[in-house]
Amino acid sequence: MEKAVAVAPRLRASWLRSERYGLTEDEMRPVFTGSVDTGSLLYECGTEVLRGLQTTLANEPISLMITDSDGLVLARLCNDSAINRSLDGVHLAPGFYFAERNAGTNGLGLALADRAPSLVRAEEHFCTGLRGYTCAAVPVPDPHTGGLAGSVNLTTWSDSSSELLLALAQAAAGNTAALMLARASGRKVRPTPRGEVFRVYADRLQHRDEPLSPGWTGAVGQARDAVERGRVVAVTGEPGAGKTALVSLARRELRARERVLSARTPAPEDVEAWLTLWTPELEKDSTCVIVSGVDTLPAWAATELARIFTSVRTGEGLQPFALTAESFDTLPEPLKPLVDAVVEVPPLRSRPDDVLALAHHFALTDRHRAVTFTPSAARALQGYEWPGNVRELRQVVREAATRAEVIDVHHLPAEVFTGASRPLSRLQALERDELVRCLTEPGTTVAQAAQRLGMGRATVYRKMAQYGIKLPGRS
């Protein structure tokens, strides 16, 4: 009973979303696409894992499926012809989209919407056509981004035992994620967010000797003007671009002593406790809560957040909350009607003039005294693309500043000297890092580096081209 009670609110929220999508109990809208990406890492690893599970379940009427993050069924494996024919009849087959907006409440749709393991039995399905099945589905994370790659879905007859169905789906999804990580060219998956709530000291960025670029200050001005007019602001931009810092600065320019809190979205299983932790702060005077990354929230949590924000939204004056997301399009649907103004933060690569100013600021903040960057190090920092934006810059500077007060190229990581290229294996990354380490040692020529590495000069130049290594002062 306890488990049923815990799951019921998610199912109720899913039924409400299904109604808002315009579905009825008697009508599903599975959309067919003419192509399925069979070359993706998810497809490759997921089908490999499911084939092994299919062998184990050879005599069971269970259909094993892989879907992408939009609910498109990529693969379906099953030895039972009866259930295969039945699933074809409801279009739960490769090439069909089966998300909530297409098929109402169902296992894979709920797992993708809430980004959490889901079991939907018989009558719990929104559409009557699916009530003959029980579906268990589990999200699969993307090893490159830590976002959502897709799901593993197991479907059986509703009168079959479902006790182990979710456990099997969780094991298959876990094995798929592990295999994807092992084959993802040595990249590490982003850690699961923990949902921290902390105070933002934006004034530390505000009082600086060097002003930041017009791209940044213009965005701050847009946010400040919108906040001053009593609008709800959503700040968008790439991960690590400084969305929370920007909206905090805008608030501080209007109300210098305001208490600004940032609430980072947590893992799906921790959302309920996370909401309980910080929502009481919205009622306090001179307090603003910035909810970061709302586009990663489970669907039910976005609905609850919209209800909370609606209840505290003021008729006039500064609103007690702001949002951040990668783009307006990725904002959850329940939150979009609340947003009055969208401000986009330009990525760091679009404002290279900010790199050194921020680097000096971060070094001073972390080391508590100023550091110097050599001209070569400065050129390297300004020439890098910064895919991780300001967050990556801070990490690079923090590590370099612990090693020296005068930061030169050999204090910087190999990535700073590497142009955009295909992902590297672990061995390739080690080779690249060793090349950069030797080439950036003070006074070292290419010929000397080649000798230390046991390579010819031509090989070193070829490797530099292969890895996109560009060192200041060297062609």
| Position 187 in a domain | no
Contact 174, 150 (CB under 8 A): no
For residues 252 and 379, state if they share a domain. Answer: no
For residues 21 and 161, state if they share a domain. Answer: yes
Sign for the pseudo-dihedral over CA of 8, 11, 17, 22: negative
The HSE-up count of residue 355 (CA atoms within 13 Å, CB side) is 24
In DSSP terms, which residues pair with 289 in a beta bridge? Answer: 261, 321
For residues 296 and 395, state if they share a domain. Answer: no
Specify the residue for token string 């990406």: 37
| Position 176 in a domain | yes
For residues 289 and 201, state if they share a domain. Answer: yes
Q: Which residues contact 298 (CB under 8 A, 6 or more apart)?
A: 113, 114, 115, 116, 268, 271
Tell me how far apart the alpha carbons of residues 99 and 30 are, in angstroms, rounded to a whole number. Answer: 8
| Position 264 in a domain | yes
| Position 255 in a domain | yes
For residues 157 and 67, state if they share a domain. Answer: yes
Q: Which residues contact 226 (CB under 8 A, 6 or more apart)?
A: 233, 250, 340, 341, 343
Tell me how far apart the alpha carbons of residues 254 and 109 are, in angstroms, rounded to a whole number. Answer: 43
Tally of domains in the chain: 3
Kind of pairing, strands 62-68 and 148-157?
antiparallel
| Position 472 in a domain | no
Question: Which of 124, 159, 182 is the last residue in one of the domains?
Answer: 182
CA distances to 125, 386, 410 from 158, rounded to whole Å, are 11, 51, 63
Q: Compute the residue count for the chain.
A: 475
Tell me how far apart the alpha carbons of residues 385 and 397 are, in angstroms, rounded to a whole number. Answer: 15
Range of the domain at 227: 197-346
CA distances to 177, 178, 352, 442 from 165, rounded to whole Å, are 18, 20, 52, 60
For residues 17 and 160, state if they share a domain. Answer: yes
The secondary structure of the chain in percent helix, strand, coil, rounded to multiples of 5, reads: 50, 15, 35
Burial of 455 (0-12, 13-18, 19+ CB in 10 A): middle
Domain with residue 214: its CATH number is: 3.40.50.300
Q: What is the DSSP string of 65-120?
A: EEEETT-BEEEEE-S-HHHHHHHHHTT-STTEE-SHHHHSS-HHHHHHHHTS-EEE
For residues 235 and 123, state if they share a domain. Answer: no
Which residue type, as a one-letter code, is found at position 81?
A: S
For residues 7 and 22, state if they share a domain. Answer: yes
Specify the residue for token string 């006790």: 163
For residues 210 and 70, state if they share a domain. Answer: no
Tell me how far apart the alpha carbons of residues 211 and 357 are, in angstroms, rounded to a whole number. Answer: 8
For residues 135 and 72, state if they share a domain. Answer: yes
Question: Which of 155, 182, 209 is the last residue in one of the domains?
Answer: 182
CA distances to 414, 417, 422, 441 from 382, rounded to whole Å, are 15, 11, 22, 20
Three-state SS for 296? Answer: helix
| Position 192 in a domain | no
Question: Which of 346, 375, 400 is the last residue in one of the domains?
Answer: 346
283: tokens are: 């009622």
Q: What is the pLDDT along the chain (475 residues), one digit of tens a residue?
A: 333 434 478 999 999 999 999 999 998 988 898 778 888 999 999 999 999 999 988 888 999 999 999 999 999 999 999 999 999 999 999 999 999 999 999 999 999 999 999 999 999 999 999 999 999 999 999 887 778 999 999 999 998 777 789 999 999 999 999 999 888 765 555 555 667 776 675 544 444 556 789 999 999 999 999 999 999 999 999 999 999 999 999 998 999 889 999 999 988 888 888 999 899 999 998 999 999 999 999 999 999 999 999 999 988 889 999 999 999 999 999 999 999 999 999 999 999 999 999 999 888 887 777 889 999 899 889 988 898 999 999 999 988 888 888 999 889 988 888 865 566 676 777 788 888 888 888 878 888 888 888 888 888 888 888 887 888 765 4
Q: Within 10 Å of residue 313's Cβ, how many Cβ atoms?
A: 14
Domain with residue 138: its CATH number is: 3.30.450.40
For residues 314 and 207, state if they share a domain. Answer: yes
* Res 268: pLDDT: 84
